[in-house]
Structure 1
Amino acid sequence: MKNFLLIISMVTLSLCVSCGSSEENSIEDDLVVQDVNNQYGDTTVAFPKLSPEAEAEISNWSVFDDFQNEMNSLNGSTISEIRNKTERLKLFTDSLSKKIPETLATQPITSRLLVVRSRVYLLDQEAKKSRVDSLSIEEHLKELTSASINFYRQIDEKFHKARIDQEREDDEKKELEKQKRFLDSVYQAELRDQQN
């Protein structure tokens, strides 16, 4: 009888344990389904507007528009959308780094592009994991967005610096011209004094 009670209690205990684990599996399945519908990223982030000079140069960089459009739509995406978009972003950043226009092929711009490319690959790697870590996805998305903003700013800054350098050069030419006219007038005045 004691053995019978012991066997019944073990069977009952194993049933309780197995029912509890199926309930936990059900909860995990619900979380996975919930994660698929979650939207990641900050949809309020605005990427900087490039100056007209930068826009003109970027228009010669064929893949940049595709990259920019994909980045603009990345925040607020679900995990499946992020997986698709990071695949495209990997292609775009690879292409961008291979075909940098000569005027943009400066060390700061190529460095920022390399950081963006690395962030795209890290986000893609995280998004393709079998168990999605929402916090990690959010962090990688935030870092990619920040790297892209820095990349845009660096492009714009290059043209801003070029504009400042051009203005400085123009000012120096005007100053030299002004000094030359002054020296010419002094020379003319001395000639007149000598003739008188």
Structure 2
Amino acid sequence: MYTNNNEERKFLYAKPYFSGVIVDTDSNGFDWFGNDERGQLGRILKVSNFTDLICELVHLFKEGLPNYYELSSLFSMEYEIVQGYLISRYGIETARREKEEFERRFGKGKAGMDNGDKIICRVENVERKDQDISKIEMDIDIECLKINDLYIFVNEVPDLNELKTIIEEKFDDINITVGNELIVKDKTYRIIVLEENKKTTD
């Protein structure tokens, strides 16, 4: 575990883009087929026990901000944007124009586009050997497409205090709170472990 190397795992940190326009221009090209890091990381996320999975995710986020669709695809190829699809594809301004044009032609409220402050990407058929995760959701910033919150919905809540202790033993400078859910918080993201249907709005 923790074999992450930005050179070998560049695909995970590729900058997201709106309709072919890269959001962050500080982006280098990456080689999809130059090594087997994608396959190795996918196997780690699928077969590791739950504690090791969370530690691996914390490590991945400490190394940089993962691209949401690259991270989603490591859990399952069946992921979807359930809020803000047009925004995720075209950017907020173009999406608003598309919505206005659609509603001009077909009627108010017919576009079905949410102009909220985030995009939500969901993985419902999570490919895990232990089948311990019911779904994963990512709350994504509409301006820069970074993952703000990564929600891990579990079928059965593990001992969160024990999980907190293990994470703290492995990582320095990390803020973890435990209540009905476990929240790993850094300046730029949160990883939240909670039971299905217990997602909070704060």
Which interval holds the TM-score relative to the shorter structure? under 0.3
* TM-score between the two structures when normalised by the length of structure 2: 0.23
The structure that has the greater radius of gyration is 1
* TM-score between the two structures when normalised by the length of structure 1: 0.24
Higher RCO, 1 vs 2 (CA within 8 Å, ≥6 residues apart)? 1
Q: Which has the higher strand share?
A: 2
Q: Which has the higher helix share?
A: 1
